[in-house]
Amino acid sequence: MKNVKIFILCAGEGKRLRPYTENQPKCLVPYLGKPLLQYQLEVFKQFNLQDITLIGGYRSDALPRQYPVIVNNEFATTNMLYSLFCAEDHMTDDGDIIVSYGDIIYHASVLEKLLSSKDPCSVVTDVDWRRYWQERMADPLKDAETFRWDMKTRRIFELGKKPKTLEDIQGQYIGLFKIASTHVKAFRQHYETFKSSHLNYRNAYMTDFLQYLIEQNFPIFGVSIRSHWAEFDAVNDLEVKLAWLWEVY
């Protein structure tokens, strides 16, 4: 397998997960007795992926030091896109780049599908998202975001916006994507133009930038999965047992 560089976004304070985040970053909150970050690190180990960088912010001093840690010292006034590009100098085109949110966990089969994708930009997409959302909240539309794509070509043409109906949601982006080495340079260049054209770029979400890339005709494709992942935004997420997450173990 060619070189793969992994960037895990660990800067979040996770206020909705208090009291669990009073003294540690969101990625270290335990689920079923194990920190969220540990789930990801164990999955990467299964594929012998060792080039892992943690991008910290809130309580970055608590992050494990066996991996390089880049700190977004402005985490309190910026968002995850800004955090990611704190590591811009490490985004070189000698290998693919995987970006993973720090507050998610996923089965090895999810990572395997992402690694096997040959697309310029591959976005992991849960097409069975409604089952999970219904476990977490009464109204799926309240939290879910738009996701629209050509199901034949898998090319995405909209994501990350506020949906009006369930028809606006053909899947859910889970917070995990890959940029092929051939497009890393263009990915970085587009961020520079994004900064110059968006006054509020410091507070932009990752989906804001992905949608911008789509509008610039940057080729973004979905990698379809059916569950086998979870995210942790609020305390009630820690109480969902997610039996289907482990079905293929």
Residue 241 pLDDT greater than 90, yes or no? no
Residue 48, token pair as written in the block: 């012998």
How far is the C-alpha of 210 from the C-alpha of 12, rounded, in Å?
Answer: 19
Residue 248 has pLDDT above 70, yes or no: no
Domain that holds residue 62: 4-246
Per-residue pLDDT, 86: 97
pLDDT tens digit sequence for 31-55: 988 999 999 999 999 999 999 999 9
Find tokens 């305390």 and name the residue. Answer: 235
pLDDT confidence tier of residue 242, bands split at 50, 70 and 90: low
pLDDT tens-digit map of 112-166 = 999 999 999 999 999 988 888 887 777 777 778 999 999 899 999 999 998 888 8
Do the Cβ atoms of 3 and 68 come closer than 8 Å?
no
What value, to the nearest 5°, has the Cα angle with vertex 17 and ends 73 and 110?
85
Per-chain mean pLDDT for the chain? 92
CB count in 10 Å sphere of residue 98: 23
| pLDDT value of residue 244 | 54
The pLDDT value given to residue 249: 34
**pLDDT of 195 higher than 70:** yes
- pLDDT at residue 2 in the model: 67
CATH number for the domain that contains residue 233: 3.90.550.10
- Distance from the first to the final alpha carbon of the chain: 24
Tokens 């910290």, residue located? 56
Give the chain's domain count. 1
d(CA 246, CA 182): 34
**Model confidence pLDDT, tens digit, residues 174-194:** 999 999 999 999 999 999 999
